[in-house]
């Protein structure tokens, strides 16, 4: 049955008083080398200004915010590539603004995750590691341009267990033509991770492979077979599929990213960092040198359609979202597209009822096509 928006829904369209975001993202664009598939903003050593200068610029930007953070996420790039003396300055400043229930994630590369790094992160309260394994096969790691090895993967797990990080997440890239996905899945499960992120290899943007028009990813049908295998294997192992690319044991979902998918606001700090404050999305200047000398210089993205933006985020949540959890402006944008939502529901891509919006299995597979209809 189609859900027709009612006056009870309309009454919920009342804007809450604005408050400062309580979610923080810090970007470390430092990488030892650039992976050929990567389209994120990173800089390699030949372009690195002194790490001390970048740390100072991060601290200046961070000092503008006096809130207590509910979630903190250090991403990159490679945060574990940053010199420990400078990383400690950032950790110390953030540690002063967290509380007992803060989720604090740091991304690490198995090849640069050392005993001293692990000890430092735990010392300051980091309670969630996101480890960029990507594969457990040396041939695939080398092909993807990764600098670490399968042995480095196992060493990283041992270090994380030694320092008793409360939550461990691992990244896996699939849909590489020559991979043995069953082998990687088997080893991932042997590590007893709390959270697994699986990303289909896609070649786009300004990546090295995109510029060379080289695409080693699987054909669509084979990629779908691998995705189905991943879902079934992880479900049997006790992981629940809560977001298009993410699987978790109960209580280990990434709260920071859930806030993003629910259209929540967050502060973005660092060169190339994205943020969302005061109803406006922005991206800081993508240059470490300029960030150091001139500050974040954010560019604000007005977007083509708030409804499209909202749909692209909330439909990533496999079990959907309550209408009451969608921020006022975003709910209002969807209300203006009520006839389109009903049409898409009739086609079997989403489900609607009085309290909830959710994708169907078919909707998850065709999410990009759904979003395009809102533009």
- Please give the Cα distance from 163 to 158 (Å, whole number): 9
**CA dihedral sign of residues 262, 264, 266, 271:** positive
Q: Tell me the pLDDT band of 128, cut-offs 50, 70 and 90.
A: very high
Confidence check: pLDDT of 113 > 70: yes
Q: Tell me the pLDDT band of 19, cut-offs 50, 70 and 90.
A: low
DSSP secondary structure string, 132-200?
A: EEE-S-HHHHHHTT-S--HHHHHHHHHHHHHTT-SEEEEEEEE-BTT--HHHHHHHHHHTT-SEEEEEE
Q: Which two tokens stand for residue 194?
A: 């709390």
- Please give the Cα distance from 178 to 143 (Å, whole number): 10
DSSP-based three-state secondary structure for 24: strand
* Overall pTM surpassing 0.85 (yes/no): yes
Q: Which region, left, alpha or beta, applies to residue 145 given φ > 0 means left and ψ of -120 to 50 means alpha?
A: left
How confident is the model over 95-111, as pLDDT tens digits? Answer: 999 999 999 999 999 99
Cβ-Cβ contacts under 8 Å for 316 (sequence gap 6 or more): 243, 244, 245, 261, 367
| Beta bridge pairs of residue 292 | none
Cβ-Cβ contacts under 8 Å for 289 (sequence gap 6 or more): 47, 49
How confident is the model over 289-310, as pLDDT tens digits? Answer: 999 999 999 999 866 689 999 9
Q: At what angle do helices 51-62 and 84-95 cross, to 10 degrees?
A: 10
pLDDT at 20: 80
Q: Tell me the pLDDT band of 87, cut-offs 50, 70 and 90.
A: very high
pLDDT at 43: 82
How confident is the model over 333-353, as pLDDT tens digits? Answer: 999 999 999 999 999 999 998
Q: Tell me the pLDDT band of 18, cut-offs 50, 70 and 90.
A: low
| Structure-model confidence comparison of residues 47 and 292, the more confident one | 292
Kindly provide the b/e burial profile for residues 171-208, where b requires at least 16 CB atoms within 10 angstroms of the residue's own CB.
Answer: bbbbbbeebebeebbebbbebebbbbbbebbebeeebe
Our CA dihedral for 340, 342, 345, 347, rounded to 10 degrees, sits at -70
Please name the helix (run of DSSP H) or strand (run of DSSP E) that holds residue 345, with its range, or none: helix 338-346
How confident is the model over 236-285, as pLDDT tens digits? Answer: 999 999 999 999 999 999 999 999 999 999 999 999 999 999 999 999 99
Distances (CA, A) of 256 to 73, 105, 260: 7, 8, 7
How confident is the model over 146-191, as pLDDT tens digits? Answer: 999 999 999 999 999 999 999 999 999 999 998 999 999 999 999 9
Q: Which of 70, 40, 66, 76 is nearest to 258 (CA)?
A: 70
Beta strands 246-248 and 195-200, pairing class: antiparallel
Q: Tell me the pLDDT band of 3, cut-offs 50, 70 and 90.
A: very low
Confidence check: pLDDT of 1 > 60: no
Q: Tell me the pLDDT band of 11, cut-offs 50, 70 and 90.
A: very low
Q: Which of 200, 79, 56 is nearest to 131 (CA)?
A: 79
């Amino acid at each position: 049955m189609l859900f027709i928006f009612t006056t009870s829904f309309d009454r919920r369209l009342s804007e809450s008083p604005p408050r400062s975001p309580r979610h923080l993202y810090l970007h470390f664009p430092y990488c030892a080398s650039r992976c050929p598939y990567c389209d994120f903003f990173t800089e390699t050593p030949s372009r690195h200004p002194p790490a001390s200068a970048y740390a100072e610029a991060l601290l200046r930007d961070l000092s503008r915010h006096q809130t207590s953070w509910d979630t903190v996420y250090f991403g990159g790039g490679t945060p574990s590539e940053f010199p420990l003396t400078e990383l400690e300055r950032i950790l110390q400043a953030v540690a002063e603004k967290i509380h007992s229930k803060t989720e604090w994630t740091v991304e690490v590369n198995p090849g640069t995750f050392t005993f001293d790094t692990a000890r430092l992160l735990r010392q300051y309260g980091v309670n969630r590691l996101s480890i960029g394994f990507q594969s457990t096969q040396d041939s695939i790691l080398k092909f993807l341009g990764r600098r670490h090895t399968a042995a480095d993967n196992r060493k990283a797990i041992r270090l994380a267990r030694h320092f008793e990080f409360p939550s461990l997440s691992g990244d896996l890239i699939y849909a590489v033509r020559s991979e043995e996905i069953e082998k990687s899945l088997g080893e991932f499960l042997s590590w007893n991770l709390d959270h697994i992120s699986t990303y289909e290899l896609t070649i786009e943007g300004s990546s090295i492979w995109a510029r060379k028009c080289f695409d080693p990813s699987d054909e669509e049908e084979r990629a779908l077979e691998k995705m189905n295998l991943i879902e079934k294997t992880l479900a049997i192992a006790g992981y629940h599929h809560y977001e298009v690319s993410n699987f978790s044991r109960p209580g280990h979902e990434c709260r920071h990213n859930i806030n993003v998918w629910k259209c929540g606001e967050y502060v973005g700090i660092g060169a190339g960092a994205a943020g969302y404050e005061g109803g406006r999305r922005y991206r800081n200047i993508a240059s470490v040198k300029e960030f150091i000398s001139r500050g974040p210089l954010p560019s604000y993205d007005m977007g083509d359609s708030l409804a499209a933006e909202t749909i692209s985020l909330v439909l990533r949540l496999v079990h959907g979202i309550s209408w009451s959890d969608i921020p006022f402006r975003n709910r209002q944008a969807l209300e203006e597209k009520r006839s389109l939502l009903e049409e898409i529901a009739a086609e079997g891509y989403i489900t609607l009822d009085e309290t909830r919006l959710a994708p169907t299995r078919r909707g998850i597979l065709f999410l990009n096509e759904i979003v395009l209809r809102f533009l």
